[in-house]
Amino acid sequence: MIERKEYLDNLAALRDKKIIKVVTGVRRCGKSTLFELYIDRLKKNGVDDNQITFVNLEDLENANLLNYRALYDYISNRLSADKMNYIFIDEVQKCAGFERVVDSLFIKKNCDVYITGSNAYLLSGELATLLSGRYVEIDMLPFSFKEYYEATKSTGKGKNELFGEYLKYGSFPYVAYLDSDEKIINQYIEGIYNTILIKEVATREKINDVTVLENILKTVASSVGSPISTKKISDTLISAGRKISTHTVDAYLRALTDSYILYNAARYDIKGRQYLKTFGKYYFVDTGIRNLIITQSASDVGHLLENVVYLELLRRKNRVNIGKVAEKEVDFVATGMGETEYYQVCASVLDEHILKRELAPLQAIRDNYPKTLLTLDEIGKGSNYDGIRQINIIDWLLK
């Protein structure tokens, strides 16, 4: 089992703090396993079993706990009066009225509360109102390539081959243990995709025609790495014979991002230091889902690389946007840990004209923040273009 060290360390740093730990993320990204790993760490640090209560509300055995009163009674009856209690509720949104349970546990002096959820609605309703300023959100993603590599390097395959599989099959943790069996992997990813689409989006938004959602996702999937607007998506679908308003497209996109299947990167004017309202980009939480929706082609590599880099920057930084400097576009402006960094992503810049094109946006930026060009090219140490570093993307991901 791969230790999700960054997330575990984050939880450990918040241990016993009077704040609710909310782990959010797409289905099957490893939230339940994270709790199991963290509980093991607690036990190694001297916490007794009777101090820990773990409830997975997706487990049929806990169907009787989907009522908030029953859930509260179950947990409160297990609390120790003279010791700290560590309470873990997995997929808490399954319980109607869960906000009352969380709030009641939070106000107790000896309760350290951890919850997970698979959609952003978890923090957009009554819970956010009740617990304003009293919770911290940890947005969890599927495997990074470094984690995928650690899980699969025992196969004897090289890092380049494993990275090719990572791009193709995606990053859901269990995929790494399916022995590169394409048929089984596709069935597994399709199951996750259908569950998200039907349970997380269509049911909540009361969408009867799931085909509309699929068409929107296909349009976005074919535009990964390119600026896109709700009007462009609407126009594309209308031209294909399906009438849909920009308002409906906007609502469905919001539902898809709330379920963490899509992430939206806004455009940022670097010189003017302001966000722009139009033509952001959408990236998929998993390249395997994206490849399931539309057939991968050789020309897709650059777009998939950009998708992977976007997710990796989310892991490493607090905020990731698309940069605009004059008429040029910088792939990513990443902000976090008190520093801003700029990134361009390209499959290869061995062609001099492509190299010039990719360097131009970074060269147009007039500040001293780090600037990096990520490619698949084999690069000697110290590749530098007037302060712009060129780094092999696989090496960068494994750092």
Quick: pLDDT tens for 227-262: 999 999 999 999 989 889 999 999 999 999 999 999
Could you give phi then psi for residue 264, rounded to 5 degrees? -105, 125
Q: How far apart are CA 216 and CA 84, in angstroms?
A: 48
What pLDDT, on the 0 to 100 scale, is given for residue 244?
92
> Percent of the chain, pLDDT > 70?
96
**Domains in the chain, CATH or no CATH each:** 5-139 (3.40.50.300), 297-399 (3.40.1350)
Enter the pTM of the model.
0.94
Residues whose CB falls within 8 Å of the CB of residue 176, separated by 6 or more in sequence, listed in order:
2, 143, 148, 151, 152
Handedness of CA 34, 40, 44, 50 (dihedral sign): positive
In this structure, are residues 152 and 275 in contact, taking their beta carbons and an 8 Å threshold? no
Q: What is the residue whose two structure tokens read 């296909």?
A: 218
Q: What is the residue whose two structure tokens read 């048929």?
A: 183
Identity of the amino acid at 111: C
Q: C-alpha distances in angstroms, 49 versus 8, 78, 308, 368?
A: 19, 11, 39, 52
Q: How far apart are CA 41 and CA 35, in angstroms?
A: 10
Average pLDDT on 56-82 reads 96
Summarised one tens digit per residue, pLDDT across range 272-323 is 778 877 788 999 999 999 999 987 665 689 999 999 999 999 999 889 999 9
Q: How far apart are CA 291 and CA 120, in angstroms?
A: 24
Q: How far apart are CA 31 and CA 139, in angstroms?
A: 10
CA count, 13 A, side-chain hemisphere, 388: 22
